[in-house]
């Protein structure tokens, strides 16, 4: 088994997990707001989710290719592949993550999705838990 292809598959898995975090995270946030799950209003979770989609939007708007895509393609090239992978794991991960549309459609989709994520911030803002507030106050008081 080619080590570079295995590493490329691992990068593709991370890429798919990142996309799943953004999409599934949004579904869970909206569902949680509706049914009253407190954890979906966790400040750190919501900030990580917002940062993930903002990063994707920024890359799309400035025309930078996703670093995960660059790394995966480079590993596949080093490993002797000439295109998308034909091994089982890599093939299906790529089929889930990549689509053949013009870049402007992706930018529009990313921005639309980001607007929805920001709307959830307005509709149900994240909450800093009491435990985190206490830790933050301790850090501030020890700094002075």
CB neighbour list of residue 28: distance below 8 Å, 6 or more residues apart: 37, 40
The model's confidence at residue 10, banded by pLDDT at 50, 70 and 90, is very high
Q: Which residues pair with 42 in a beta bridge?
A: 127
CA distances to 16, 31, 49 from 27, rounded to whole Å, are 16, 6, 11
Neighbours of 118 (CB within 10 A): 13
The model's confidence at residue 138, banded by pLDDT at 50, 70 and 90, is low
The model's confidence at residue 82, banded by pLDDT at 50, 70 and 90, is low
CA distances to 18, 64, 65, 82 from 78, rounded to whole Å, are 24, 22, 19, 9
Mean pLDDT of 76-91: 68
pLDDT at 69 over 90: no
Mean pLDDT of 39-66: 92
pLDDT at 32 over 70: yes
Better pLDDT: 101 or 29: 29
List alpha helices for the chain, DSSP H. Answer: 3-35, 43-62, 67-78, 88-97, 103-123, 130-143
């Amino acid at each position: 088994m080619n080590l570079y292809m295995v590493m490329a598959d691992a990068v593709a898995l991370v890429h798919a997990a990142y996309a799943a975090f953004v999409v599934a995270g949004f579904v869970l946030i909206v569902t949680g707001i509706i049914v009253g799950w407190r954890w979906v209003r966790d400040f750190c979770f919501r900030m990580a989710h917002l940062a993930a989609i903002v990063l994707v939007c920024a890359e799309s708007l400035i025309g930078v290719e996703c670093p995960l895509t660059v790394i995966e393609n480079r590993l596949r090239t080093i490993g002797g592949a000439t295109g998308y992978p034909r091994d089982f794991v890599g093939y299906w991960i790529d089929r889930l993550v990549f689509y053949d549309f013009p870049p402007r459609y992706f930018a529009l989709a990313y921005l639309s999705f980001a607007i929805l994520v920001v709307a959830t911030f307005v509709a149900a803002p994240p909450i800093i838990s009491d435990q985190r507030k206490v830790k933050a106050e301790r850090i501030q008081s020890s700094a002075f």
